[in-house]
Chain A
Amino acid sequence: MMALHHLLDASVKRWPANPAVIEGNGGGRIDYRGLGQLSDRVRDRLVAMGVRRGDRVGMYLRKSIDGVAALFGILKAGAAYVPADPGAPACRVAFCFHNCAVKAVIVAKEFEGGLVEEISRLGSNPERVVLPDTGGGAHLFAALQALDAQSAARTAQTVDSAPEDLAYILYTSGSTGAPKGVMLSHRNGEAFVGWGSQSFTPRPSDIFSSHAPFHFDLSIFDIYVSLKHGASLVLIGEKMGKSPRGLAELIERQRITIWYSAPSTLSLLAQFGKISERDFSALRTVIFAGEVFPIAHLRSFKQQVPAPCLFNLYGPTETNVCTWFAIPPVVESDRIEPYPIGKTCSNLESVVVDPEGQAVERGAEGELCIAGPQVMQGYWNLPEQTARALFCDPSGKRWYRTGDRVTEAPDGNYHYRGRKDRMIKRHGYRIEPGEIEACLYRHPSVSEAGVVATSNCGSDIEIKAHLSVYGEKRLSIIELKTFCSERLPLYMVPDTFRFHGGPLPKTSTDKIDYQSLQEMN
């Protein structure tokens, strides 16, 4: 097994002059040699700051060459990177960094003030590498130069991380009201990258899209599978992601060959990107994951762009991808049901179990459990939640309970049937309604909150917050959205609010009756 950063080192030796990372907005580009050198400088600085093998280092900056070099530098120093959502409020980012006790942070100037204020309130004071801005790698270089001018960092050794060393911690929404950190090791990451390499046969001439932000597990495929094979990675920033026509233009201009994103982005492209007018002849593979692709939009995409092979990938952050399905060349005109999530990846094992943990017969519905080298180590500092999510069979094999209800068809393909719990998947992100409710309960006028998801004509998921409030006065929706956006990532802000005149409906055990809320239009 090779540590994730050694994948880059090997490519630097083999393809030093190949373009490694390109900023899709027309910003910078860097070749493998340059990326290797810049990440070495990050390693040296972090080691000079006292970062050691097994530590955590936070990243709070916009997607850029600076960000890619930073994460490899963190790995080379033997630490695990903790990527923050640049769109999340500073209080949430500070919570995550404090929660896993980061030793240092690499932060853009625009986020530094808010982060320092919030994290010092929690009692943390990590070392900081502050970038004046992000883009092209130049700002990271400038930040390192400025620190070297104060005190030069000596060249450090790249750490030969062990397979079980943590490589990254990805924070996801937590049902108890606070985010939880999913701990992934080099073994976890490398096993997935190995599967991706085997399944999609990347070449040095490939040009990968990097649509997912770095705090989203889809980014693992983009970054490591592309850079392992000497290919180029085109970074797509959040601004560009908002314009379907801009994205379509980028795919054409950059000659993207392998695209990977949540289906919601492909839906936008199919509906509004005018993609049939674009030259997508370079595009050979389109991969989507993270949520159900509404069949009407999938059909439309395939009709407009028939050539590339399409794949539906499925898997939670805790395992990364664990099943996959090749979409047929023609989407049947009378098909209404989404395609299956497919068969288990060759390096993993799966079983469907009943509530007692016993394997069900093929065709019966149950919870999908996964075993193999991609299964996470656990949740940071949450032993009880880890114990609930993982179990060992009599042979000692570790299994992860996905919480997803599935059935297995006679052909061996799994079909997704829904969740065991209340978790919502939207735009590829997983959202625990309990975390949104915990936020709403902090509002001084809210006496009760119940959050449910509704599907808008089988396509986009809408998050609806049902509220009971103190007093007669109805709350402003804008004020509530602002309140939530100051405490939650934007993808968790409810779309709509419904105010109830009295208490929310209850079950016979006096708990909020989510089923009733779900049925209210």
Chain B
Amino acid sequence: MDNSVERSIKNYILSEFLAGEDPDYLRVSTPLISTGILDSMAVVKLLLFIEERLGVTIAPHEVTPEHLGNIASIVRLVRSKH
């Protein structure tokens, strides 16, 4: 499951917020919030994507840079819900 979740989140971020970027540059450890790749609106869109496509609901208290700071932490959060 890990790889498919990671792939799907990575593809979503690339297509929605980094159009035109070389996929190799987006690593699981790339900071997403501190670099401005995800702003408030982007965070909301990503959460909706996770909810609708991965069937996982993120609670308001989990919407933090610690959980959403990079793809690895997002995948960990999604995994913890399964």
Contacts and interface: CB of A to CB of B under 8 A. Distances in A.
B61 A272 contact: no
B79 to A, nearest CB: 20
A121 to B, nearest CB: 22
Contacts, number: 62
Contact of B25 (A246, A249, A272, A479): A479
Nearest to B60: A246
A268 B22 CA distance: 30
A246 B58 CA distance: 11
7 contacts: A244-B44, A245-B60, A246-B61, A272-B44, A478-B21, A479-B25, A485-B36
Contact of B36 (A240, A264, A481): A481
A290 to B, nearest CB: 14
Given A246-B63, A478-B18, A268 B35 contact: no
B25 A460 contact: no
The 8 closest A-B CB pairs, nearest first, are A246-B60, A493-B36, A243-B63, A243-B60, A477-B21, A490-B36, A476-B25, A485-B35
Interface in B28-58: 30-31, 34-37, 39-41, 43-44, 48
Contacts of B1: none
Nearest to A426: B39
Nearest to B26: A478
B36 A239 contact: no
Contact of B37 (A245, A427, A460, A478): A478
B4 interface: no
A449 interface: no
A391 to B, nearest CB: 37
Interface of B: 18-22, 25-26, 30-31, 34-37, 39-41, 43-44, 48, 60-61, 63-65
Interface SS, B side = loop
B20 A239 contact: no
A306 to B, nearest CB: 24
Contacts of B26: 478
B19 A496 contact: yes
A291 B15 CA distance: 28
A112 to B, nearest CB: 18
A395 B63 CA distance: 55
A242 B25 contact: no
A477 B20 contact: yes
Given A244-B44, A476-B21, A478-B21, A239 B65 contact: yes
Interface string A492-510: 0101110000000000000
Contacts of A241: 40
Given A268-B41, A477-B21, A482-B31, 18 more contacts: A241-B40, A242-B40, A242-B44, A242-B64, A245-B60, A246-B60, A271-B44, A272-B44, A272-B48, A427-B40, A477-B20, A477-B25, A478-B25, A478-B26, A478-B37, A481-B37, A485-B35, A495-B39
